[in-house]
Amino acid sequence: MKPSRFMTLSRHIVEGEKKHPGATGELSALLADFALAVKIIALEVNKAGLVDILGFEGSNNVHGEKVKKLDMYAHDILIRAMDHGGHLAVMASEEEEDIIHIPKKHRIGKYVLLFDPLDGSSNIDANVSIGTIFSIYRRVSPDGLPGTEEDCLQEGYKQVAAGYVVYGSSTMLVYTAGNGVYGFTLDPSVGEFLLSHDDIKIPQRGKIYSLNEGNYKYWHNGLKKYIKYLQDADDRTGNPYTARYIGSMVADIHRNLLYGGIFIYPADKRNPKGKLRLMYECNPMAFIVEAAGGRASDGKQRTLEIKPESIHERSPIYIGSEGDVLEVEKFLREEEMAEAEEKKK
């Protein structure tokens, strides 16, 4: 369905929430606050290349303000935009070791927000797309009291909403409240996110694989065999898959969401838990991809069923088209069984 010209993010969220009996509109207001914060972040990200003119990190810019690292800037903007709306009990951010409490002067709400304020920010100097990732839960601790770490350590399938913003050739916000995945493109002329991708569905199989092949020598054998299989030829089409790796998780997964394919950041001999963070990278992206008909796992277990133990814990991730993720899981399983048999000899 071609989206209507002026289906704004706010209107879409409100209409979506109306379908949920008993909805209070709090989630709509929370997401609207978030959208405002990312518009402000987008302004700064899009002129990052001019920072040298405006003043480099650590210096004062033309307004006499201290120039921050962009990821810390994004973190601060999100905290300031989200801490007073009365919708949140607690927050957690990649940029903050501990959970972030709501200031006492503000009303405490029923939701929990976890986020990676600016993922891939090391790419910004090369003008490569980067992103913001968010994950929203209902609190589990008693209403009215300050939120707790327990609120922030829920399995991914308990998310009530998740999304990401990709700051690329355009600024796009993709979100799901569990019932379809929707993409909104920022129209700078009106300052609104307008629906541009209605009810996104990821193809059941893709032709793209996305991982850092520079780590080849650290990979486990099952992954090495899988990637070689993709490079040889695809049984269906006789052609090898295409390798695409931006080095920015949000951009890589966003491309695969639209075109199909698989993104992998595996456990390897150096990093037994991989690199990416479960709570504010893997879980929200898994929630979105599953809502679009795809699949996400750590190679064995469904990502959304992993029981978290700490806010910043890492997890391997295989995410994208269902057929591709099932296929790599088969390669990993068969290799593990073969190695176990070998050990018995």
Which residues would be at the binding site for ligand P6P (CB under 6 A)? 119-120, 122, 212, 247-249, 275
CB 262, CB 318: distance < 8 Å: yes
CB 123, CB 130: distance < 8 Å: yes
Write down the least CB distance from residue 156 to ligand P6P, Å.
18
**DSSP, res 55:** -
Q: Which is nearer to ligand P6P, 129 or 321 (CB)?
A: 129
CB 43, CB 94: distance < 8 Å: no
Write down the least CB distance from residue 289 to ligand P6P, Å.
14
Write down the least CB distance from residue 194 to ligand P6P, Å.
26
Helix (H, G, I), strand (E, B) or coil at 2: coil
Helix (H, G, I), strand (E, B) or coil at 331: helix
Write down the least CB distance from residue 214 to ligand P6P, Å.
7
Q: Which is nearer to ligand P6P, 151 or 268 (CB)?
A: 268
Q: Which is nearer to ligand P6P, 46 or 122 (CB)?
A: 122
Q: Among residues 338, 261, 258, 337, which one has the least CA distance to residue 292?
A: 258
Match 């199909």 to its residue by tokens. Answer: 260
The token pair that represents 302 in the structure block: 């469904």
Q: Which is nearer to ligand P6P, 89 or 251 (CB)?
A: 251
Q: Which is nearer to ligand P6P, 88 or 166 (CB)?
A: 166
Q: Which is nearer to ligand P6P, 255 or 275 (CB)?
A: 275
Q: What b-and-e string marks burial along 307-327, b requiring 16 or more CB atoms within 10 Å of the CB?
A: ebeebeebbbbbbbbbbbbeb
- The Cβ of residue 59 has, within 10 Å, a number of other Cβ atoms equal to 12
Write down the least CB distance from residue 281 to ligand P6P, Å.
7
Write down the least CB distance from residue 10 to ligand P6P, Å.
28
Write down the least CB distance from residue 298 to ligand P6P, Å.
15
Q: Which is nearer to ligand P6P, 120 or 203 (CB)?
A: 120
Beta-bridge mates of residue 117? none
Write down the least CB distance from residue 179 to ligand P6P, Å.
27
CA 184, CA 173: separation in Å to the nearest integer? 5
Residue 343 makes CB contacts below 8 A (sequence gap 6+) with none
CA within 13 Å, CB half, 214: 3
Q: What b-and-e string marks burial along 137-163, b requiring 16 or more CB atoms within 10 Å of the CB?
A: bebeeeeeeebbeebbbbbbeebbbbb
Q: Which is nearer to ligand P6P, 116 or 290 (CB)?
A: 116
